[in-house]
A = this chain, B = another copy of it.
């Protein structure tokens, strides 16, 4: 069982910690009494994603109930749905949360890069994150592929990224050289290559190095006649 990287950083995933209260108290101790309430909520959020992903990877998404996720943490079902609107959000929400990071990355790309190149490099920055923990990335991807409802949400996430990057690209290049349709297609093409590369990596069992596959995919886009 690999470590699970939740939004707040990597968290050990082996020992199924029933010591929820203890974690909270140590957090309080170390955090010098700034915003205790937010601290609690952040921790709860992390614990929920940790336990949830553990169970999903172990026994599948559909067969895991909210009660099973909530029970070892001593949290009520109702509270779960105050943190996550749906069961699926537990898996995909952190992906949407990294949208601003992508936008920043694209904004900070050198001005002399072509639009497509800038977007490609932005997406490539995610590849290195995946390389940090390939086993987990592969397991998560299998979960997404095998669970229809999750696959759908994953596609939605892709659309969110596309829209954000499209808006950023228009801003960056100006609407004259880069009107909406053109921007959308530039981003879409880069995203297409990205997705295709990720699928290729997945079909190979997640063992290959992702970066060269991605670079190959991006070059296939630019070489198209």
Contacts and interface: CB of A to CB of B under 8 A. Distances in A.
A192 to B, nearest CB: 4
Query: What is the interface residue range for chain A against chain B?
Result: 35 or more
A153 interface: yes
Contacts of A31: none
A181 B148 contact: no
B185 A217 contact: yes
Contacts of A188: 189, 192-193, 195-196
A184 interface: yes
Contact of A152 (B116, B152, B196, B200): B152
Contacts of A182: 220
Contacts of A151: 152, 156, 159
A122 interface: no
Contact of A155 (B114, B155, B186, B193): B155
Contacts of A19: none
A85 to B, nearest CB: 9
Q: Which 4 A-B pairs have the closest CB atoms?
A: A152-B152, A155-B155, A188-B192, A184-B196
12 contacts: A114-B225, A151-B152, A155-B159, A181-B200, A181-B216, A181-B217, A184-B200, A185-B192, A185-B217, A188-B189, A189-B192, A191-B192
